[in-house]
């Protein structure tokens, strides 16, 4: 089985990877990182393995082939038969939610497997 992470290079994104690492360690599951921000460059696997050594050798990056980040996360999770999607949450104003929509909300509502939503710790930002 695999765990898919909706990733952004932000404190919530880092919290999501940390949670996925913790969740995947017991069964040595593959962790698949999917960029969750339109236009973001794919993260470097070597950098991910350096930052989170517990996933060395079992982390992959998959950009998906759809334009929308939430669609990509959902597509990759379905295609790779993920047992879990992990995403980081951040505080947003009501106007921010209305104007920009929510990648997290779409993933939470449309994913076909369980979704774990995490917040960064105070130390993370």
Cβ atoms of 111 and 34 within 8 Å: the answer is: no
Quick one: average pLDDT of 16-41?
Answer: 88
In this predicted model, what pLDDT tens digit does every residue of 95-115 receive, in sequence order?
A: 555 444 588 888 989 999 999
Selected residue with higher pLDDT from 35 and 77: 77
Q: Where are the beta strands (DSSP E) in the chain?
A: 2-7, 30-35, 59-61, 82-88, 115-118
pTM of the model as a whole: 0.86
Mean pLDDT, to the nearest integer, of 44-55?
85
**Domains with residue ranges and CATH for the chain:** 2-124 (3.40.50.620)
């Amino acid at each position: 089985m695999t765990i898919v992470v909706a990733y952004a290079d932000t404190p919530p994104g880092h919290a999501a990877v940390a949670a996925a690492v913790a969740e995947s360690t017991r069964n040595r599951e593959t962790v698949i990182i999917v960029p969750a921000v339109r236009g973001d460059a794919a993260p470097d696997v070597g950098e991910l393995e350096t930052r989170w050594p517990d996933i060395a050798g079992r982390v992959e990056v998959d950009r998906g082939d759809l334009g929308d980040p939430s669609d990509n996360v959902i597509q990759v999770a379905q295609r790779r038969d993920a047992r879990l999607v992990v995403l980081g949450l951040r505080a947003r104003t009501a106007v921010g939610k209305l104007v920009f929509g929510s990648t997290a909300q779409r993933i939470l509502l449309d994913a076909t497997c369980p979704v774990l939503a995490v917040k960064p710790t105070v130390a993370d930002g």
